Amino acid sequence: MIGDANLKAEVMGSAPVDLNVKNGEVRFTKGPITHRVTNPANTPFRNITIEILASPGSAGASTPDTSRGHSMVLENDRVRVERLVLEPGQSTNMHTHGLSALSVFLTDSKIRVESPGKKPETIDYKPGDFRWRTAPVTHLLKNIGTTRFEAVGIDWK
């Protein structure tokens, strides 16, 4: 979810229910599912919905990332979802991702990405920006902006 929202959700054949979501919240529903979500509020609702059709295959270890700033959100046999939060000036340790992933950015932020043997890259992210990462990737991320950096990484197993 990108931003907070108070919605109505309805699975086919069931009555609508209140669905209150928070910025960065991640949900997993095993398909197939037929549903609809309505937004009765005057504020926009934004999310990214991903349908998992097949695994791209692992390029390396599939252990959770325990470097600074990372926390586990959800894990099952198909995906691992981690959240990364860095305050201004904070950075992760140098770490390696062994799975391909989709990163979804939740806040306005400015990040420097350092990878061994490569020139550092500075990226400005907006809420809802996303980036596909093929494995393996070794890097360090540093928040060089003035606001908190928050992102969710969805690793395919």
| CATH code linked to domain 70-156 | 2.60.120.10
Q: What are the pLDDT digits (tens) for 99-123? A: 888 999 999 999 999 999 999 999 9
- pTM equals 0.81
Share of the chain above pLDDT 70, in %: 93
Within the chain, which residue ranges are assigned CATH 2.60.120.10?
70-156
Q: Which of 58-72, 84-98, 106-120 has the lowest mean pLDDT?
A: 58-72
Give dist(CA 63, CA 142) in Å, integer.
22
Q: What is the pLDDT of residue 62?
A: 53
Give dist(CA 129, CA 48) in Å, integer.
10
